[in-house]
A and B are shown apart, each in its own frame.
Chain A
């Protein structure tokens, strides 16, 4: 851990996608113990042990202080930021009795009802959500092309 990581700070094209933590090989390394903790919750006896004393249970996994804190406080986005993967953290959600959709709603900062309603209305639009840079040029072009094509075909 003391060694500096030569790949830290390397920029990726996907860093530009807003509201998104891409679980790449680097994150997979960083979040290994966090994700293995989540994995352990697939067993009922572990779920019980965790629920009985969360902080003590977490000591079994050599995580960073930030990772432990994010888990204890159920900061779902922070877990992803620190190397968690949604398919793993969802197991913590399940332990809390939360569905995928409920965890998703929390991560977007909306209520379960508002989120479910947004999904019924066709979900979150990609317009304005493609790129952190304001002009959105990278994503807009191909989609305009595609939409024209598909509407032609449908017509």
Chain B
């Protein structure tokens, strides 16, 4: 079975992508932002997931106002970077995982999440900036990526509760996938910011910090934040933080916050970042080294037992 081992929350500010693409990461303004992700890149390097699911929103790149899907799952084999008006970002083409993605789509639809299946899609900074922040700038992304685009551009986006429950449904879908895969799920966007209208520039660090605290310890509190509160407290565009709840919903109840970073600003936005590990994995990591090296894969015992049962049956039948 495939399973979620950890969740990553991260802002996806376009100016962060521009700073990477234009070689400005060493400037003091940007260094302050990028230094917060150094540890995360090391963590990702060690974690080596088999697949990443990235929950993000499209910013009028793949979807215009012609079609506005609430949840759209990328099932294609690859997703080229979109031209957002300055030419496509110079980042690798994102390779998908069509088999797992379509398995998830089928499973969550039967679980009553009527998501849109997307077999052709370009991806914008909403997806590629968090990949850069966690994987750096490699020639190829180190693992397949399944994009899950959420509408947060047109009001109303899905509720926080709905997002959380979709995360739960994704977790369930992974459990019935035949191959053993270790999956990291990203929730991206935010944190507090408003980029439109005379109130642009709004930042609410208190709101953001409470959001991060509760995301780990009391997700129910975060789930029940109404849209009006996001918009009033965290800015009109701050509402995109609902996407983090898909990530949280896909994790176990019992999780460990292994890293957090927060800084203001990157352009117009408060940058927030968190890494949450399922306790099962955290416990395993802690035990690592103490455990004697056995050349046994998890689940090998199960197969052995099954083989023994079959053998026993055969013996009884006189084969």
A residues contacting B by CB (< 8 A) are: 13-14, 17-25, 28, 31-32, 35-36, 38-39, 41-42, 77, 80, 85-88, 90-91, 94-95, 99-101, 103-105, 107-109, 115, 118-120, 122-126, 129-131, 138-139, 142-143, 146-147, 149-150, 153-154
Bound Cα distance from A118 to B68, whole angstroms: 34
A86 vs chain B, min Cβ distance (A): 4
Bound Cα distance from A87 to B236, whole angstroms: 12
Contact call A130/B233, Cβ cutoff below 8 A? yes
B56 vs chain A, min Cβ distance (A): 13
Contact call B85/A104, Cβ cutoff below 8 A? no
Bound Cα distance from A39 to B200, whole angstroms: 22
Contact of A138 among B83, B232, B270 (CB under 8 A): B232
Contact call A149/B213, Cβ cutoff below 8 A? yes
Contact call A19/B84, Cβ cutoff below 8 A? no
**CB interface residues, B 148-177, toward A, < 8 Å:** 153-156
Complex interface: chain A residues within 8 A of B48 (CB): none
Bound Cα distance from A23 to B202, whole angstroms: 17
Bound Cα distance from A150 to B210, whole angstroms: 6
Those 9 A-B pairs whose CB atoms lie nearest each other, nearest first? A123-B203, A19-B199, A19-B198, A86-B196, A146-B210, A94-B85, A104-B200, A24-B155, A124-B201
Contact call B196/A42, Cβ cutoff below 8 A? no
Complex interface: chain A residues within 8 A of B86 (CB): 94
Q: How large is the interface on B (under 10, 10 to 19, 20 to 34, 35 or more residues)?
A: 35 or more
Complex interface: chain B residues within 8 A of A129 (CB): 199, 202
Is B14 among interface residues, defined by CB-CB distance under 8 A?
yes
From known contacts A131-B232, A139-B233, infer whether A28 and B196 are also in contact, taking CB-CB under 8 Å.
no
Contact of A28 among B15, B68, B85, B199 (CB under 8 A): B68
Bound Cα distance from A90 to B84, whole angstroms: 10
Bound Cα distance from A40 to B264, whole angstroms: 33
Contact call B199/A87, Cβ cutoff below 8 A? no
Is B265 among interface residues, defined by CB-CB distance under 8 A?
yes
Which of A14, A28, A87, A101 counts the most B-chain CB atoms under 10 A from its CB? A87
From known contacts A143-B206, A146-B206, A153-B213, infer whether A86 and B267 are also in contact, taking CB-CB under 8 Å.
no
Residue of B nearest to A149 (CB): B210
Contact of A101 among B15, B207, B236 (CB under 8 A): B15
Is B64 among interface residues, defined by CB-CB distance under 8 A?
yes
Residue of A nearest to B204 (CB): A126
Contact call B203/A122, Cβ cutoff below 8 A? yes
Contact call B267/A35, Cβ cutoff below 8 A? no
Contact call A25/B154, Cβ cutoff below 8 A? yes
From known contacts A77-B197, A86-B195, infer whether A24 and B204 are also in contact, taking CB-CB under 8 Å.
no
Given contacts A101-B267, A108-B200, 19 further A-B contacts (CB under 8 A): A14-B228, A17-B232, A20-B231, A22-B236, A31-B65, A35-B60, A87-B59, A87-B60, A95-B85, A100-B268, A101-B15, A104-B200, A107-B197, A123-B193, A124-B201, A126-B202, A138-B232, A147-B206, A147-B210
Contact call B155/A126, Cβ cutoff below 8 A? no
B253 vs chain A, min Cβ distance (A): 19
